[in-house]
Structure 1
Amino acid sequence: MTSTTSAASGTIAIMRPPVAPRTSALSVLFGDFASAAITVVTGGLLLLAGPKIAQWAIVDAVFTRADPRACQTGGACWAFIADKLRFILFGVYPPDQQWRPLVVIGLILAGVLVTVSPALWGRRLVFGWGLLIVAMLALMWGGFLGLAFVPTNSWGGLPVTLLLAVVSLGLGFPLAVLLALGRRSDKPVMRMLSIFAIEIVRGLPLVGLLFVAAILLPLLLPSDWTIDKLGRTVAALTVFSAAYLAEVVRGGLQGVPMGQEEAARALGIPYWKTIWHIVLPQAIQKVIPPLTNTAIVMVKNTSLVMIVGVFDMLNAGRSAASDPAWPAPYAETYLFVAAMYFLICYGISRYSLWLERRVHERDDR
């Protein structure tokens, strides 16, 4: 306990040390009463539902490949997933050519693993991803070096989901940076056009944008121009992701002090070099969590392309579950597809957490 004397009034103010909050076993385990109540209710529901879920998913389940009639025991029919795995993963891609989408999946994973290291970020990585995407699309199409030509309406499953996510985010991010810079520009025309583009796209549901791309876009193009359904879907997803990423990037740009640009201008550094080498790296570091959230949302949004006839992983699973030879294993199919989406999105979230820790550790040095 300390005391201080006021020179004006001559009074002595006694300063007491802060009182430590009372702790109990309940507060240590659960927090306050509301948290404890929610925990108890949730635990009770899990205890009630857990045995039934285990009975259905494990005890009464059929795991090995068997006749479809063996799945009429009331348990989960995981044998259906084993039997339809190739169809769910690759869709209606020709069975004798399914090694090609499998290689595409491997190339995407390899590209992601290379991109994980920030030390490799730069123009070479961007150029490498461009070549990789071209190579993957060429491998899926075929028609050269003895590879059979496979049209895009025969593509499906996991490769389409990954390609849609990678291409839409890869093309959408540079466009998002331009829109964010345009919205912060002091030139009225550029600023108004950027605001108009961002707000129009953000004000439309993705389903409506997909229908616009699938139905109206061919009517707006010249009669001798044709863009297949997959290309129109990529265009819609790219515009959608660019609008949302633009607001995230703009938030990061606002967090960078104006003195950074002013100092660069005073040193005679060109505008675009200032943005690319000074401002943008700092802005991206500040918005890693919202960027990650947008990427995860875009991965999940690829499941909506089924409404315009693109055969993604969810559409392939639903088509596989409609096989009349099996006892309608929709629950097992959707759980498997959900697990695939979860693994992709969880991997993105864990990488963002690692990247955040790395940035904080570097700033603390």
Structure 2
Amino acid sequence: MSDTHAQSVAYVRESFIPEQAPPTRESGAFKWVRENLFPTIPNAILTIAALYVIYVLLATLLPWLLGGIWQASSLGECREIAAGGPGGCFAVLTERWNQLIFGFAFPQSEYWRPFLAFLLLFAAAAPVLFPDVPRRLLVLTLLYPFVAYWLLWGGTILTPLAALLGLIGAYMAFKAVERYGFALALGAAVVAAVIVWWLGGYLAGEAPRFLALEVIASRDMGGYMLNMILGTVCVSLSLPFGILLALGRQSRLPIIKYFCVAFIEFIRGVPLITLLFVANVVLAYFLPPGTTFDLILRVIIMITMFASAYIAEVIRGGLAALPRGQYEAADSLGLDYFQAMRLIILPQALKISIPGIVNVSVGLFKDTTLVSIISMFDVVGMIRGPILASTDWNGVYWELYGFAALLFFVTCYGISQYSQWLERRLATDHR
């Protein structure tokens, strides 16, 4: 018995072996390279080929970037300074950066206005884009379109203020219909419309120069600023219109359903460049003689119609992806159509549709360069027109188009990263 006890005690561990580092092949960068770059012979061959391609590209691109000329007054002077070297002529960006960003007709003394409007855009978009921002700051989002219009187009601040009063009056009339009935609300709306109409006419005539800025015509706007204006406004407008079209396509009312179907199918079957030509030329024939319709407004209408049709189909896919039980759950709670859509259906459908909506938005933002076809000098129009047409910089292509590509890449990459963050934030179904 004692021998057995003594033998069992010998197997009782009284101390632990010190921990040792894993083998080199199973840890650190060596493991990552082995598992991701050289796991098999075909993958190893592809890795070596890719590294060779990267080497060739960097061997060509880096001398062009690092040896670039940034101070010169013309392409000929760039070539003289480079003396046959591989450096690029980036002096065109130093000389013409203001035209690439703001256009060639925008007053240089007023550059602070679009820059300030761009900064205010982040403050206005934050309550909409980020759930953690207090909802009371949505008032900034409401005020931003009127402030941005005043900053970009100028004039007295009373003009956008009158438009804001009209919007507030329409909202109050809608609330009055719910509380006091249609007749009384209609009378109040007529009185408010007369006041706003009189105020608008007064401002168009002898309006006081109260907080007035220099008036900037739409034809003087260009460069990347024009792309930002069109992209921001059209994306912001196309999302609510796309939601309405998607809901209208699923409506049980035949008139609404067939109208939405016809609109969506027609717009999706027509190229955007055709709609831009319609905005530039054909639309003027439907207006009374002597009527002036701002070209930027016409382009915004057409691009918004184009994007709304595509977003409507994306959201319709999100609505179709929801289980039928979600609609039945809304009915079981006694919710009407609008309450069910606002509280249950649309929040889930929009979450599903985020990748598609972002895809349409990014494509729409890049398609704003098509306005150069109708003689609007956006950043591409500035490159193709005034800059390359000048004798000083005729022949500079890679530097200019590379700069334009960089601007669009930074903006589109930021939109993509935000959408991925929002998807992770809203991924509550797997938690």
TM-score (norm 2): 0.72
Match of 1:110 among 103, 111, 123: 123
Q: 1:70 is matched by which residue type in structure 2?
A: E
Aligned twin of 1:329:
396
Q: Who wins on radius of gyration, i.e. which is larger?
A: 2
- Aligned residue for 1:199? 265
Separation of aligned partners in 2, 1:35 and 1:235: 50
Amino acid at match of 1:323: S
Check conservation: 2:127, 2:134, Cα contact below 8 A.
Answer: no
Residue 62 of structure 1 aligns with an amino acid whose one-letter code is I
Match of 1:297 among 338, 359, 363: 363
2:57 matched to which residue of 1?
Answer: 49
d(CA) in 1 for partners of 2:389 and 2:335? 62
**Pick from 334, 344, 352: which aligns with 2:419?**
352
1:1-365 aligned within 5 A: 28-29=36-37, 37-59=45-67, 61-63=68-70, 65-68=71-74, 69-72=76-79, 73=82, 74=84, 75-91=87-103, 92-120=105-133, 125=138, 128-144=140-156, 145-223=211-289, 225-318=291-384, 319-326=386-393, 328-360=395-427, 362-365=428-431
Aligned-partner SS, 1:76: coil
- Give the distance between the partners of 1:87 and 1:46, measured in 2 at CA: 34
Identity %: 35
In 1, the alpha carbon distance for the partners of 2:290 and 2:328 equals: 49
Are the equivalent residues in 1 in contact too, given 2:351–2:426 (CA < 8 A)? yes
Alpha carbons of 1:345 and 1:184: their partners in 2 closer, same or farther (altered >3 Å)?
same
Distance change in 2, residues 1:356/1:202 (3 Å):
same
Unpaired runs of 5+ in structure 2? 1-32, 157-210
2:347 and 2:306 map into 1 onto residues whose CA distance is: 23
Residues 127 and 135 in structure 2, CA contact (< 8 A), matched pair in contact too: no
Distance 1:122 1:180 in 2: 27
| Aligned equivalents of 1:190, 1:81: Cα separation in 2 | 51
Deviation at 1:41, TM superposition (A): 3.6
In the alignment, is the contact (CA less than 8 A) between 2:124 and 2:141 conserved in 1?
A: yes
Deviation at 1:289, TM superposition (A): 1.1
Tell me what 2:22 maps to.
Answer: none
> Structure 1: which 5+ runs fail to align?
1-24
Aligned to 2:196: none
1:118 Cα deviation (Å)? 2.0
CA contact (8 A) 2:117 2:148 kept: yes
CA distance in 1, matches of 2:299, 2:394: 33
In structure 2, the residue matched to 1:17 is none
RMSD of Structure 2 on Structure 1 (CA): 2.5
Equivalent residue letter for 2:141: W
Per the alignment, residue 5 of structure 2 pairs with none
- Matched residue of 2:390: which SS? coil
Deviations 1:209-232 (A, max 9, x none): 111122111212333543111111
Aligned mates of 1:351, 1:98 — CA distance in 2: 28
Contact 1:62 1:70 in 2 (8 A): no
> In the aligned structure 2, how far is the partner of 1:320 from the partner of 1:185?
51
Partners of 1:271 and 1:124 lie apart in 2 by: 29
